[in-house]
Structure 1
């Protein structure tokens, strides 16, 4: 199993086994900094292995292109859970029968089909605690359905 080591500017570090472990520990500034650092690193280095997975996850969060093949298969997704990571302002869709997860920024619009938005609202949004961010996210998803 591959483990990511996250070292902050204050020299403290933590170890994570997957993207979800990152999201539980990061705040929005950390996530932005990580994206910037990974962009800089991979400009001059080939992508392979887990580096490619990390880069792909971050690109999907910050630069969701509706032409990516991932977005075209939404009708096949079997949505299992929907979770909010308030500290980094990310919500995640977990799929049944596959290890695939879709991570999205709370305030960003993604190319989601109406059928998927409806499925999200039919699930209970998992959050660490009741919050205004959770309510705003649900309200935002409802507004997308009306478009």
Structure 2
């Protein structure tokens, strides 16, 4: 239990993804945007805002997307309840969280690595199957 709490402290967005559904996440993003419109972002507030912004409003000019050639994917996980899938990268504390149905500025090599890794999901997950098809179609578009 202590280890789980420690991980939650290190990765607050993962804890949220386990507890919140899609509508909750959208409401949280709206609240965070409103709250920090007139306030400075620091510490965990900045982390939360950045993670939510990357999920709902990614900017393909952000360094994270521009530096994909350095990514070493370890895992790819689906959070069905929230409709988010996450990439876990080696050598960094970075985790990329994305909406299942949204296209992100991922390069073909990363998309192919995702398919090769296979997604961690509940057994017989229709959402995982649909996500795999979506990723494969995104790869085909880039060919």
TM-score, structure 2 as length reference:
0.90
Match in the other structure for 1:46: 40
Alignment gaps of 5+ in structure 2: 1-7
Match in the other structure for 2:4: none
For 1:69 and 1:78, how far apart are their aligned partners in 2? Answer: 16
Match in the other structure for 1:98: 92
TM-score, structure 1 as length reference:
0.87
Structure with the higher fraction of residues in strand conformation: 1
Moved over 6 A (4+): none
Matched, 1:127 2:121: yes
Match in the other structure for 1:109: 103
Q: 1:87-140 CA distances to partner (integer Å, 9 max, x unpaired)?
A: 110000001121110000000000000000000000020013321100000000
Matched, 1:80 2:84: no
Query: What secondary structure does 1:87 align onto?
Result: coil
Structure with the higher fraction of residues in helix conformation: 2
Change (3 A) 1:81 1:134: same
Alignment gaps of 5+ in structure 1: 1-15
Q: 1:67-106 CA distances to partner (integer Å, 9 max, x unpaired)?
A: 1111010011000000000011000000112111000000
**CA RMSD in angstroms, aligned pairs only:** 0.9
Match in the other structure for 1:62: 56
